[in-house]
Structure 1
Amino acid sequence: MKRRKVLILPVGLAALLLSAVGPAHAQKGFGGGTDGQTEQSANTDGKGNVSVTVGGVVFDRSKNGSGDSVGAVTSSTSWSPPACWYAPKYTPEQLQKYLEPIWEAESTGYEWDAKQREKYNALDEKKGFNKDKTGKGFWWGSYVNESYPPGWDKCDTEYFWVDQGDPPPADIENAVTPEVLAELAYAEIRVPGTEVTLAPAEATKVNLPTWAWLDGAEFKPVSVTASVEAIGIEATATAEPVSLRIEPGTPDAEIYPASGVCEIKGGRIGAPYEKGRADEAPPCGVKYLRSSGDGTFPLQATVTWEIHWTGSGGAGGDLPDGTFGATQDVVVQEIQAVNR
C-alpha cells in the first residue's frame, strides 16, 4: 500500500501542513507546542531573569550576557547545534486527543488511518495509546529550531514511547540527553559586543602605536541551562572569554602582538593606555603605517570563547569554541609637523 504524499513528509513539515486543517488539529502537548512546532513561553522571577520554554526544553537565561550589543557565538568549526530534536511531547491521553481528530477528518486516507489506529492500539479503550502506562512514561516527538537552519527536517521519526527512567533509543539521533541539552543551550548563549577601546583617545596617528583593550567587567563567563523537567535531566553550557583577535582593516599596519591574538589576563583583554606611554608597544593594539585619508579603516575585533558543559549524572565535556566579533571604523591621521 502507498502512503499519501502528505504523510511521507518530514514530521516538522507535515505538522505545519496539518496545522492548517483546523483548530482541532492543534492540540497542545505538555511540551508547550503544537505538533512539530516550537511554541515559546517565557517566565520571569521578578528580577528580569528569564526562562523560556522552547520545544519541550526550558532554557534558563538568567546568567546569559545582556545589553544592546549582545549576540550569539559562531562555532569555530563546522559543528553546529541541533536544528531539530526529540523530547517528551505527549501523555497517552494527549496523543489520543491530537491524533483522533486527524483520523476522523479522513484527510490522510482510510488505509493509512487504519494502520495508525493499529499502531497505537487505538481501539482498546484501556490500553490504547499506552493509557495503561499513564504516569510511567511519555510519547516522544520532534521539535524544530524556529529559525529552520539547515537540517531542520532531519527529525522525521514518528512518535515513540519511552518509559520513565529509561534513556531514549540509542539509534535516534538528537533525542534529548544531557549532552544534547548542552548543545541546545550552546545556541542560546549570548555574549557582549566587542567594540574595543582605542587610545590615545584624541586620534589614531600614523606610525604611533594605538592601544586596544576590552573592559574586564563585561567579559566574564556566561551560561545557559537547558532542562526537561518531565524526565529530570539538565545541562549547563558555559562560555568563557579567552582571547581577542584584531584585524586592522588594511595590510599597511602592524599588530601587537604580532599574531594579532591578545590573550585575556587578570579578567581583562589588553591593557588601558596610560599617559606618557604613546611610544611604547602595547600588549594589545595596532600601528597604522598610513592614514585613512578622507575615509576610515574597518577594524575587526573578534573574541574567542571557550565553551564547556556539565549535566545530570556528572556528565560533562567540551564544546567547540565560539566567536563573536564586530567592526568599528577607525580614522587614522597623519602626524602634523610644524616648520619654524
Structure 2
Amino acid sequence: MAIPQPASGDPMWAGKDASKGRLVVMICGVGGPGGGYPGDARVAYVSNGAEAPVVPQVSPAELARQAIDQMGLSAPDIRLAPPADSPYGATIGFPVWMWSARSEATTGPVIRTATAGTVSVTAIAKLARITWSMGDGATKACAGPGTPFTEDRAGLASPDCGHVYLTKASSGAFAIAATGHWEISWSGGGMSDSEAMDLTSSARLPVREIRTLNSGEDGHE
C-alpha cells in the first residue's frame, strides 16, 4: 500500500525526498494474505523505479511453532526398579530406581526446521531435568533421564535418581508422576527466542513392608 505524498516536514518520511521515491506499508500476515497475524507492520522507503520489498507471509515465530509441533515431544517413559508391574513392588527401607527409557521424543535433543519461502527457522529442544513425585510426599529432581537398573546393582542405590520409601501406601500402591522439563530455543528469519515445556506421565508402585521374627533358643518368639 503506497502512502500519499507528504506535507512539508512530515516525520513519516524521515527526511527522504518524496520526488525520488515512495513509502509503502508492509504487513506480515501468517499463512498468506488474509492470515491472522496483523500486528507486524512497518513502513519502507522505495526509490523510484525500484520494486517494493517482498513481504514475508509467515512470521519467524509462527515458523518456530511449526518446528516445535513437528518434534513430537513426550513425557518421560517411566521405568522403575522394582518395576511397577511386579507382584510385590518396592519394599520399605530398600532403594527404588527411577529413570526414563531413552528415545529422541523422551530425552532429546530434538532438532526440527520449518521453512516458508526464503525464511527458515530451526528449533532445538533439550530435556533439562525430570521431577519425580513419589506419592508419599517426597519429590526428587533428577538432572537427566536417570540410570537404568541392572541386576548386578541389586540392593544398591541409584547413582543419580532414586528414592527410599519409609511407609507403605494406605491404598497398597503409591501414585508416581514424572514431569519432564524441556528447554526449547529457536532462531531464524532475523529473530530468536526460547520457551519451556513440561510434560508429565504417571505410574503406580506397590510398596510392602517386610517384618522379621526373632526366635529364642527354645523355638518360641
When normalised by structure 2's length, the TM-score is 0.64
Q: Quote the Cα distance in structure 1 between the aligned partners of 2:80 and 2:178.
A: 12
Q: What corresponds to 1:196 in structure 2?
A: 78
For normalisation by structure 1, the TM-score amounts to 0.44
Whole-angstrom CA distance in 2 between matches of 1:303 and 1:88: 32
**Bigger Cα Rg:** 2
* Correspondence 1:261 to 2:141: yes
Q: How does 1:1-340 map to 2 (within 5 A)?
A: 86-87=29-30, 89=32, 140-143=33-36, 165-167=53-55, 176-201=58-83, 202=86, 203-218=89-104, 219-229=107-117, 232-251=118-137, 253=138, 260-264=140-144, 269-274=145-150, 275-280=152-157, 282-312=159-189, 315=190, 317-340=192-215
> Deviation string for 1:246-294 (max 9, x for gaps)?
111222x4x5xxxx22112xxxx21122434424354102222211244
The one-letter code sitting in structure 1 at the alignment partner of 2:34 is G
Cα deviation, residue 177, structure 1? 2.8
Q: Decide whether aligned partners of structure 1 residues 182 and 276 sit closer, same or farther in structure 2, where only a CA change above 3 A counts.
A: closer
Counterpart-to-counterpart distance in 2, 1:164 and 1:338: 90
TM-aligned CA deviation for residue 295 of structure 1: 3.6
**In 2, Cα distance between the equivalents of 1:88 and 1:333?**
57
Q: Do 2:98 and 2:147's aligned partners in 1 also have CA atoms closer than 8 Å?
A: yes
Of all paired residues, the percent bearing the same amino acid is 26
Opposite residue 270 of structure 1, the aligned amino acid is G
Over 3 Å counting, the alpha-carbon distance change for 1:316 and 1:330 in structure 2 is farther
Change (3 A) 1:279 1:177: same
**Shift, 1:333, TM fit:** 1.2
Distance 1:310 1:141, change over 3 A: same
For the 8 Å contact 1:195–1:328, the answer to whether it is kept is: no
In structure 2, distance between residues paired with 1:338 and 1:167:
81
Which runs of 5 or more residues in structure 2 are unaligned? 1-27, 45-50, 216-221
Decide whether the 8 Å contact of 2:29 with 2:59 is kept in 1. Answer: no
Q: Give the Cα–Cα distance (whole angstroms) in 2 for the partners of residues 339 and 294 of structure 1.
A: 29
- Matched residue type, 1:189: M
Unpaired segments ≥5 residues, structure 1: 1-84, 90-139, 144-154, 169-174
Q: Deviations over 1:108-157 (max 9, x none)?
A: xxxxxxxxxxxxxxxxxxxxxxxxxxxxxxxx2224xxxxxxxxxxx578
RMSD: 3.0
Contact 1:179 1:311 in 2 (8 A): no
Say if 1:199 and 1:164 are closer, same or farther in 2 by CA, change over 3 A: farther
Give the superposition deviation at 1:330.
1.6
Q: CA deviation at 1:326?
A: 0.9
Bigger helix share: 1
